[in-house]
Amino acid sequence: MAVQRPVGRLGALAVPGVMSAEKCAATAQFVLRQQRSDGSIPWYDGSHLDPWDHIESAMGLTVAGYWSAAWRALEWSAANQRKDGSWPMVLRGNGVEDAGSDTNQCAYFAVGLWHYYLVTGRTDGLARLWPTVEAAINFVIRAQHPGGELGWAVGTDGGVADFALLTGSASALQSIECACLIAATLGHDRPRWRWAGNRLASALRERPASFADRSRFSMDWYYPVLSGALRGRAATERIDSGWTDFVRPGHGARCVNDQPWVTSAESAELVAALDAMGDTDRALAVLDDLQGLRDETTGGYWTGRNLPDMVVWPRSRPRGPLPPCCWRPTR
C-alpha cells in the first residue's frame, strides 16, 4: 500500500487518493484528545478502558509521530500491570469494572512495544519495559491448553477458561512473536515462548475445531491472516471464501454475517490483513469505503452503520480508539 510520511518527526501519514496528511493528522489528534493525564486512553473520553484498545490507540499515536504521548501510554500499562503479569479486563475512571483477564488483551502489550521500537528505534525503551513484556507473556502462556490454543480468559481465582477463541488466539500469536523479537533484540533467549507460539500456530492452521464456533464474526475470518498464521495461497483462499459474506462494497466490512452492520474496527483490521498478504488493491478499496464512517468535524470514526437505514452508531459521538464488536462471551 502506498503510504507516505511527510518529512519531520510529527508528520502525519497519508494514503494518496484515500486519506490526505491533514485527515490522518486530524484522526491522530482526535485520539490524542482522548488520552487522560496519566497516559491511559479509554475508548473515548469518559468511557471505559481495556488493555488491548489502549495499546492499539498508543500505536496510532506512535505512527503519527506523537512519541511522547505513546510512551506515556506504554508506561501507564507497565505501572498498572498486576503482579501476575495481567491487567483487568475493563477499567473505568480509577476503578476496576471487570477484574478478570483476557489473555489476548494481556499479550498485546508486546505488539505495542515492538511497534514503538520499530518506529522510533529506541532500544532503551525495549530494555526499560522488558520486565512488563516478560511478565505478561509468561502469564498468557500459562493459559495455553494442551492442544496449543489459549484459554480466552483467566478468572480472579486463577482459573483458565475451558474454551478458546480463534480471534484472541490468533492475535496472541502475533503478540508472542513480537515478544520473541524483543527478547532476541535484548539478547535474551526464551525457548518456552517459541515453543508456545509454535503450538499455537499449529492449532490455528491445523485444528480449527479446537476453537469455539464464532464463524459468524468477521474477525474469525480474517484474523488468522492478520496475525500471520496464514500466508500465501492459504491466506488468499481464506479471504476469498468469506468475502461475499462479510464485505459490503462501498460500505466496508460487517461485524457479523447475519446482521446489517458495517463497522470501522473490522473494516480497518481487514485492510491490515489484506495489506499483509499483498492484496493492495482490495486493501485500498476497503480503506476508501471506511472513509464513509469518518466524522470530518472531529477526525474520529463512528463505530458502525446500519445499512438498511444508513444510521451511524453510537449516535452520541464518534470515537478514535475503535474496539471490535461485542464478540466476547459471557464468562
pLDDT at 8 over 70: no
Domain 32-212 has CATH 1.50.10.10: yes
DSSP secondary structure string for all residues of 193-240: HHHHHHHHHHHHHH-GGGS---TTBHHHHHHHHHTTSS-HHHHHHHHH
- Collect all residues with Cβ–Cβ distance below 8 Å to 285 and sequence separation of at least 6: 249
Q: Is residue 166 a contact partner of residue 211, using CB atoms and an 8 Å limit? A: yes
Give the per-residue pLDDT at 1.
53
Q: How far is CA 100 from its chain centroid?
A: 19
Work out the pLDDT band at 10, boundaries 50, 70, 90. Answer: very low
Give the per-residue pLDDT at 328.
45
Q: Which three cell numbers stand for residue 160?
A: 483458565
Whether the CA torsion 126, 130, 132, 136 is positive or negative: it is: positive
Give the per-residue pLDDT at 294.
96
Q: Which three cell numbers stand for residue 124?
A: 532503551
Q: What is the pLDDT of residues 121-138, one digit of tens each?
A: 999 999 999 999 999 999
CA atoms within 13 A on the CB side of 227: 27
> Measured in Å, how far apart are the chain's first and last C-alpha atoms?
39
DSSP 135: H
Q: What is the pLDDT of residues 81-115, one digit of tens each?
A: 999 999 999 999 989 999 999 999 999 999 999 99
- The helix/strand/coil state of 101 is strand
Beta bridge partners of 247: 253
Give the per-residue pLDDT at 12.
53
Query: What does the domain layout of the chain look like in residue ranges?
Result: 32-212, 217-331
Q: Which of 87, 42, 35 is nearest to 61 (CA)?
A: 35
Q: What is the pLDDT of residues 277-319, one digit of tens each?
A: 999 999 999 999 999 999 999 999 999 999 888 888 665 555 5
Q: What is the pLDDT of residues 186-242, one digit of tens each?
A: 999 999 999 999 999 999 999 999 999 999 999 999 999 999 999 999 999 999 999
